[in-house]
Amino acid sequence: MTQTRLFRLWLVLGSVLMILVIIVYWDNVGTAHFYLHTSFSRPHPLEPRPTPGRGAERESASDAGEVLEQLLGAGPRRAAAASGTQTEAPPPPASGRPALGNMEERVRGYDWSTHDAQQSPDPDGRQAARRSVLRALCANASFVFPSKERSFDDIPNYELNHLIVDDRHGVIYCYVPKVACTNWKRVMIVLSESLLQRGAPYRDPLDIPREYVHNSSTHLTFNKFWRRYGRFSRHLMKVKLKKYTKFLFVRDPFVRLISAFRSKFELENEEFYRKFAIPMLRMYSNHTSLPASVRDAFSAGLKVSFSNFIQYLLDPHTEKLAPFNEHWRQVHRLCHPCQIDYDFVGKLETLDQDAAQLLRLLKVDKLLHFPPSYRNRTASSWEEDWFAQIPLAWRRQLYKLYEADFVLFGYPKPENLLRD
């Protein structure tokens, strides 16, 4: 009897372990062999992938049709009711205005002035030009960078975690850290009504405290689809990519790096100190004994230098250990612009005009306004000062590392930093 019980116990434990292994594997490699193949137009042809047998295809297509009819049959708002979730936020501070509650935003401050945005549907044809450049380069076989030629089907789930979906209004936003993403996430929360305050959705983006904005459970992202929809997940992603309005915001790649360094290493950030600053100081500044806390390190004058940060980015061992952190990972690796045909490409350099234009495009400009922008943004004019102590060879290597972002999004090559 005892042996039988032990056998059953081991059988149950083995089954649970196998399920966990399958879940972890699926989340890492994507659902490349479990979804239906639905094509959508791209600026360049993609390699065909094997399809399931006819019988299985008919059965899967029938099932998918029923799911799509339930989720998408009556448009985005019905899909939101079927698939969306709402999270009750903990009680906010006395004032939810983030300028009062967050170190970074408190240090930088907000520009509360009113900006006169241009009212033209596409000021100076800016959007048409940006999208044209992006499509042309994605179709240009002579312009090559890693992962450019893979299809959307080949992108693993964990690389789709920056695509936030609002089913209520049919919007997909790919967020890029250090490009006003905190406020765009606030906008997405208001639109999707994914976060509640005392039982009611937030109406003003600035009422949403920053700590809730960056909580991953607040947003529905593509990498969560397989948990909800299983084998239909990729098919639903493709349908939404085809039907919804997709946007992202970018900025000059070198200026984004400076901004990331300022926010994560010049301010006291315990997480980034432990995870990144300590290894950098040990490896590139030869410090063997370092304080356990960032406060003690700053008090002792131990800070990562910008030179240390650039060394870290250029070190070939860095990405052998783990992919770049999202705050300095290349935009094309976060948002896959050659696999996803974006409808709107905004830039931080023209944020006020682009934000107003995008909200009109989404037909939500009467519902909300984009929150005020920082008045002390890291400026491109600072580049020469920041890179003055960086060796020329390092600057050239760094440009090659971020060249695809410069070219794809129409940023000029910083010749003044790259020549003798």
Q: What is the pTM of this model?
A: 0.78
Q: If residue 242 lies in a helix (H) or strand (E), which one and from where to where? A: helix 233-243
Cβ pair 58, 150 in contact under 8 A: no
Q: What pLDDT does residue 81 have?
A: 53
Three-state DSSP class for residue 222: helix
Q: What pLDDT does residue 377 have?
A: 61
Cβ pair 110, 374 in contact under 8 A: yes
Residue 75 φ/ψ, nearest 5 degrees: 95, 180
In terms of Cβ atoms closer than 10 Å to its own Cβ (0-12, 13-18, 19+), residue 52 is middle
Q: What pLDDT does residue 86 have?
A: 75
Q: What pLDDT does residue 82 have?
A: 53
**pLDDT of the chain along its 420 residues, tens only?**
566 666 666 665 666 565 554 444 444 444 333 333 333 333 333 333 333 343 443 444 445 555 554 555 445 655 555 555 677 766 554 434 444 344 444 444 433 343 344 455 676 899 999 999 999 999 999 999 999 999 999 999 999 999 999 999 999 999 999 999 999 999 999 999 999 988 999 999 999 999 999 999 999 999 999 999 999 999 999 999 999 999 999 999 999 999 999 999 999 999 999 999 999 999 999 998 999 999 999 999 999 999 999 999 999 999 999 999 999 999 999 999 999 999 999 999 999 999 999 999 999 999 999 998 665 566 667 788 999 999 999 999 999 999 999 999 999 999 999 997
Distance CA 1, CA 143 (A): 69
Cβ pair 264, 326 in contact under 8 A: no
Q: Domain ranges in the chain?
A: 76-250+343-378, 255-327+381-418
Three-state DSSP class for residue 286: coil
